[in-house]
A and B are shown apart, each in its own frame.
Chain A
């Protein structure tokens, strides 16, 4: 009797396991909130793109495709955009998704009272800057519902990248009745109403976020995966083990040090692709020794052998960077200084000449400090760069590591920094997402780079409706910046996921956006150990 019952339970369990289409994803950090307008992190964005749907979505190849909006048009001057919402788009409680929901979401992001980290990302929208700085009320933002299914967005400047920008979670609609009822605590299980392919079922902090298909989603018939579980996986080594134990179908990343082993044993499951991010060192241009010393900055940049860093330290997972804006950015050609193509010997000779020209010599070596936030890879890179500067130029380098928040404060204050570790990940697929960071007035311009010519070229690009001329201005700005060398690019980031062979439909793209609704699971689970 007992045996029969046990057999029955086991066979039932096996049957359920077979029929189950559950996708288990390692997601890196724990989401800080599921409120699209207050969210900030990469891991949060992954979940939000499953829960909610913007006017556009990023296609598997990286292009902006119709999503909640089925089509859009733009005036000749590029300043007035009309988005037509899909008929039959519904929230997860059955309510219709309207243009007003999008207006409410956009206003909420820009309104300083919301505390959104992305308020200034929407500066291209008419009046956005004034609203974000509190000079105008949020209702004066240049977005308007012409009727329930038509949304008009007026821009202050032409922005050909607007459709891509509108796939960002901060531009997602907000379910206004929920916001009214629960205030900013609406993004919790049991309360959160979403308009994407999935709805929130469970959120156990530090444990998992469980989503189930939203049967009101307009394209629900095409959704293949019923349940998606996101696990926080801060420890990449543990994540790798869970992946190998078949507890995850997709990993958030891989531990760099394990790359050779992974290539050898899980090769076809490793997906490495260009990612919209750069790792670089900044020079503090407001203090000696780097104030008014472009030759010295160039010399140090030339003396760094990036190939050694990417090939030996980072196991060839990432690409060496000589420019700032990563390869693969839409409608942009990566820029680099002329010397990037020189042989190493010629580079070093020029670096030594510039170093001497800046007034340094073996008798009077440069004494400089590299400051970085405490982390293994940061440390290894700093040690190698210090050795390269010592060997090539005779510079005496001191390494200072600091806890993250202490480091951030010092970097921002620009008082004690000389050379500092930095990185930037673009929020949307356009060169301006990077170029603007080095504008003299930008909050993240930690180098204190002030160049009227650079700012002027960015202004020119921003005013330009013609794609070719806009691109030329942005490329000229980057070339100018690289020549003046306020930063030292080191490598371009790569997305690096492990994906089980049974996951179908996965395509690498520069934004590293992967919507669960576009994925499928093959019937027979493959096993890898």
Chain B
């Protein structure tokens, strides 16, 4: 188990290296530079700024410098936020994105599995149709529609929750963003659970379990739901990574200081180091969650335990 984990984590290093290398050169290939703006800088000043950030060196030398600093845990200075190191910005933004993403994941799992199970047990009835309609809406309405709608209702009209912001607002500030972020995932997980559970309930071993006289509750929760959760679980890995890394719209609409905004703003402003730092962090998150899902898979399904 430990050897497997170490082996898996060791393969992450070349993956992340490749990611950083590709991103480094792709960012540099993009036209324009970090100091271009509506106000054209005089040549001498642009040169001074380039020298300050070593942008005047040959590209391979900059790449070597970046990798060298990275090996020491330094992600370099941000171009856009002068005076800040990228590692500081990520250290400030990552907990926010992680908290937001994990809360949304938790909500999506609980609500999604509960709704999916409920619908599967009432297959074809009104409750099932209602849940599936909700799921279709949840999946098809994008966050930039859901989020402002939630704000309009709960913050502007009812005044129950804050319309935005993060610092100093207490736990209430997280409610609407978590809801908006979780909505499509609740829907996706509910659909997956329903489908898998209906299939599982039709399996011969369930008939056997029922024939043995097991209570229905035990049949559903222990014998049907457990295998039905396998497709949900394999969906959760990328979903978790997506929730943590893909909250750009939510962060923008609610004014939340997470990493998504750094990523987008960094790319638009050609803040090379900031984008690389966030790419690296996101890459690590994706690798980590895929790894966790693989471990959990083994726990749920004895057939895929470790040897694979």
A, B assembled together: yes
CA gap between A70 and B40 in the complex, in Å: 35
B252 CB contact (under 8 Å) in A133, A231, A238, A412: A238
Q: Which of A132, A403, A405 has the most CB of B within 10 A?
A: A405
B197 at the interface (CB under 8 A from A): no
Task: Establish whether residues A238 and B32, one from each chain, have CB atoms under 8 Å apart when the complex forms.
Answer: no
CA gap between A301 and B164 in the complex, in Å: 43
Interface string of B7-48 (1 = CB under 8 A from A): 000000000000000000000001111001111111011011
Residues of A with C-beta under 8 A to B239: none
* B42 vs chain A, min Cβ distance (A): 6
Q: Which residue of B lies closest to A116 (CB)?
A: B45
Task: Establish whether residues A32 and B257, one from each chain, have CB atoms under 8 Å apart when the complex forms.
Answer: no
Task: Establish whether residues B167 and A33, one from each chain, have CB atoms under 8 Å apart when the complex forms.
Answer: no
CA gap between A133 and B165 in the complex, in Å: 43
Task: Establish whether residues B165 and A231, one from each chain, have CB atoms under 8 Å apart when the complex forms.
Answer: yes
B159 at the interface (CB under 8 A from A): yes
CA gap between A216 and B213 in the complex, in Å: 82
Task: Establish whether residues B37 and A406, one from each chain, have CB atoms under 8 Å apart when the complex forms.
Answer: no
CA gap between A408 and B258 in the complex, in Å: 28
CA gap between A188 and B81 in the complex, in Å: 11
B219 at the interface (CB under 8 A from A): no
Residues of A with C-beta under 8 A to B93: 205-206
* B55 vs chain A, min Cβ distance (A): 12
Task: Establish whether residues A120 and B83, one from each chain, have CB atoms under 8 Å apart when the complex forms.
Answer: no
Q: Which of A69-122 contact B (CB under 8 A)?
A: 112-117, 119-120
Q: Which of A207, A237, A424 has the most CB of B within 10 A?
A: A207
Tell me the count of chain A residues lying within 8 A, CB to CB, of chain B. Answer: 54
> If the complex has contacts A116-B45, A206-B257, are A408 and B36 also in contact, measured as CB distance less than 8 A?
yes
Task: Establish whether residues A207 and B167, one from each chain, have CB atoms under 8 Å apart when the complex forms.
Answer: yes
Looking at A242-250, A283-291, A303-311, A381-389, the stretch in contact with chain B turns out to be A242-250
A187 at the interface (CB under 8 A from B): yes
CA gap between A132 and B44 in the complex, in Å: 7
Q: Which residue of A lies closest to B163 (CB)?
A: A245
Task: Establish whether residues A188 and B42, one from each chain, have CB atoms under 8 Å apart when the complex forms.
Answer: no
Residues of A with C-beta under 8 A to B38: 408, 423-425, 444
Task: Establish whether residues A238 and B37, one from each chain, have CB atoms under 8 Å apart when the complex forms.
Answer: no
Interface string of A222-263 (1 = CB under 8 A from B): 000000000111110110011011110000000000000000
Interface string of B79-109 (1 = CB under 8 A from A): 0111110000100110000000000000000
A208 at the interface (CB under 8 A from B): yes
Looking at B123-131, B150-158, B225-233, the stretch in contact with chain A turns out to be B150-158
B: interface residue count bin: 35 or more
Q: Which residue of A lies closest to B77 (CB)?
A: A185
* A48 vs chain B, min Cβ distance (A): 14
CA gap between A171 and B92 in the complex, in Å: 32
Residues of B with C-beta under 8 A to A117: 37, 39, 41, 45
CA gap between A405 and B162 in the complex, in Å: 35
B270 at the interface (CB under 8 A from A): yes
Task: Establish whether residues B268 and A241, one from each chain, have CB atoms under 8 Å apart when the complex forms.
Answer: no
A339 at the interface (CB under 8 A from B): no
Q: Which of A184, A408, A410 has the most CB of B within 10 A?
A: A408
* B281 vs chain A, min Cβ distance (A): 15
* B255 vs chain A, min Cβ distance (A): 6
CA gap between A238 and B52 in the complex, in Å: 37
Residues of A with C-beta under 8 A to B282: none
CA gap between A113 and B46 in the complex, in Å: 10
CA gap between A81 and B31 in the complex, in Å: 45
Please report whether the interface of chain B is mostly helix, strand, loop or mixed according to DSSP: loop
Task: Establish whether residues B255 and A205, one from each chain, have CB atoms under 8 Å apart when the complex forms.
Answer: no
Task: Establish whether residues A204 and B92, one from each chain, have CB atoms under 8 Å apart when the complex forms.
Answer: yes
A134 at the interface (CB under 8 A from B): yes
B82 CB contact (under 8 Å) in A32, A132, A241: A32
CA gap between A38 and B39 in the complex, in Å: 13
> If the complex has contacts A188-B83, A206-B261, are A241 and B167 also in contact, measured as CB distance less than 8 A?
no
Residues of B with C-beta under 8 A to A206: 93, 251, 255-258, 261-262
Residues of B with C-beta under 8 A to A204: 92, 167, 257
Q: Which residue of B lies closest to A233 (CB)?
A: B255
* A226 vs chain B, min Cβ distance (A): 15
Residues of A with C-beta under 8 A to B157: 529
Task: Establish whether residues B37 and A205, one from each chain, have CB atoms under 8 Å apart when the complex forms.
Answer: no
Interface string of A475-487 (1 = CB under 8 A from B): 0000000000000
Task: Establish whether residues A408 and B32, one from each chain, have CB atoms under 8 Å apart when the complex forms.
Answer: yes
* B43 vs chain A, min Cβ distance (A): 8
A443 at the interface (CB under 8 A from B): yes
Residues of A with C-beta under 8 A to B81: 30, 32-33, 205
A462 at the interface (CB under 8 A from B): no
CA gap between A113 and B47 in the complex, in Å: 9
> If the complex has contacts A40-B37, A204-B167, A205-B92, are A443 and B42 also in contact, measured as CB distance less than 8 A?
yes
CA gap between A117 and B34 in the complex, in Å: 13
Q: Which of B31, B45, B82, B148 has the most CB of A within 10 A?
A: B45
B254 at the interface (CB under 8 A from A): yes
B159 CB contact (under 8 Å) in A133, A242, A245, A444: A245
Q: Which of B259-294 contact A (CB under 8 A)?
A: 261-262, 265, 268-270
B166 at the interface (CB under 8 A from A): yes
Task: Establish whether residues B156 and A133, one from each chain, have CB atoms under 8 Å apart when the complex forms.
Answer: no
A405 CB contact (under 8 Å) in B251, B253, B261, B268: B268
CA gap between A485 and B84 in the complex, in Å: 44
Residues of A with C-beta under 8 A to B155: 241-242, 245
B49 at the interface (CB under 8 A from A): yes
Q: Which of A434-448 contact B (CB under 8 A)?
A: 443-444
Task: Establish whether residues B252 and A235, one from each chain, have CB atoms under 8 Å apart when the complex forms.
Answer: yes
Q: Which residue of A lies closest to B159 (CB)?
A: A245
Q: Which residue of B lies closest to A237 (CB)?
A: B148
Q: Can you sample 14 A-B contacts with CB below 8 Å?
A: A112-B42, A115-B45, A117-B39, A117-B45, A206-B257, A207-B166, A233-B255, A235-B252, A238-B148, A241-B164, A404-B32, A405-B268, A406-B32, A410-B31
Q: Which 9 A-B pairs have the closest CB atoms?
A: A405-B32, A206-B257, A443-B40, A207-B257, A245-B163, A115-B49, A112-B44, A33-B82, A245-B155
Binding site for B on A (CB under 8 A): 30, 32-33, 35, 38, 40, 112-117, 119-120, 132-134, 184-185, 187-188, 202, 204-208, 231-235, 237-238, 241-242, 244-247, 403-406, 408-410, 412, 423-425, 443-444, 529
